[in-house]
Amino acid sequence: MNVTIRKIGNSEGIIIPKDVLDRMGLKAGDEITMTSEGSRLVLSPADGDFERQLGHAEKFMNRYKVALKKLAE
């Protein structure tokens, strides 16, 4: 399947066909992860649980920065 890179505001983007979105269980507003493997771009649904957990971990580390620094010594 070929798609065209299009100008969208000051950026470029592609339009993902509806049948592809339906097959992947995605809809407008969902987040996806983009990685490159050699000369290929790979799009996959983002792991929302991981992102949420990472956010909690960052808050915890910021809140207890001094204690964590002491423990690391």
pLDDT in tens, the chain (73 residues): 889 999 999 999 999 999 988 888 888 888 888 999 999 999 888 876 777 778 888 899 999 999 999 999 8
pLDDT at 48: 67
* Nearest-angstrom CA–CA distance, 54 and 64: 15
pLDDT at 29: 87
pLDDT at 50: 72
Q: Does domain 6-72 have CATH number 2.40.30.10?
A: no
DSSP state of 4: -
Sequence spans of domains, the chain: 6-72
